[in-house]
A and B are shown apart, each in its own frame.
Chain A
Amino acid sequence: AQKVTQAQTEISVVEKEDVTLDCVYETRDTTYYLFWYKQPPSGELVFLIRRNSFDEQNEISGRYSWNFQKSTSSFNFTITASQVVDSAVYFCALRASNTGTASKLTFGTGTRLQVTL
């Protein structure tokens, strides 16, 4: 069975601070995919990144970066120089490769990030 743990329920930072959102996953599969989604106050879910289990290279996209470490089963997300617009709930999700014919995502419970001025 798959499991995703986001232990940080809520984080508050002041604008321009760096913040890291933690994600720890459990799976018995050797091939799997990890995702991050953003849910702003408007409620929609916005795809941010996908990473497969064979690619442990860190990814940077503007102020966002992701650190994938198989040794600790973690896929952490860092926002550098946070902005008020980053305020949202962030979800980490896992899909194992052998979930049948469909892409069944297992979601964490989310981390609410509040960025204030």
Chain B
Amino acid sequence: NAGVTQTPKFRILKIGQSMTLQCTQDMNHNYMYWYRQDPGMGLKLIYYSVGAGITDKGEVPNGYNVSRSTTEDFPLRLELAAPSQTSVYFCASSKTADTQYFGPGTRLTVL
């Protein structure tokens, strides 16, 4: 039981490039979330999903897109990377609107 897995662990992007951060969970959780963590700050919610085919915006959705075609996967897409998107990205899942379990994070740098 791997829990929540994220790939890649690290990535450096140039301004304007695009990429997808992958997130997979094997706990059959309906709820999934994407957060970003900036230095010295708590986590801020980017997008969340309550089930396959259903997604909604969090606090800081601008510059990101998500999709949820399966229960297990919740990829986060950056279309035009900007330096302001340099951050650590965490994916999380929960069975219901309950305790969230986090993946190991992806450290993204945009230069």
A residues neighboring B (CB under 8 Å): 4, 9, 35, 37, 42-47, 50, 91, 93, 95, 99, 101-110
- Does B13 reach chain A (CB closer than 8 Å)? no
Binding site for A on B (CB under 8 A): 31, 33, 40-45, 48, 50, 56, 58, 88, 90, 92, 94, 96-105, 107
Contact of A105 among B43, B50, B56 (CB under 8 A): B43
Q: Is the CB of B102 within 8 A of A105?
A: no
Chain A positions within 8 Å of B101 at CB level: 47
Please determine whether B50 and A47 come into contact, CB atoms closer than 8 angstroms: no
Would you call A35 and B42 a contact (CB within 8 A)?
A: no
Q: A35-B99, A101-B97, A102-B50 are in contact. List 5 more A-B contacts (CB 8 A).
A: A9-B40, A37-B102, A99-B97, A103-B31, A109-B41
* Chain A residue at minimal CB-CB distance from B43: A107
With contacts A103-B31, A109-B42 taken as known, whether A44 is within 8 angstroms of B104 at the C-beta atoms is: yes
The docked-state distance in angstroms from the alpha carbon of A35 to that of B88 is 21
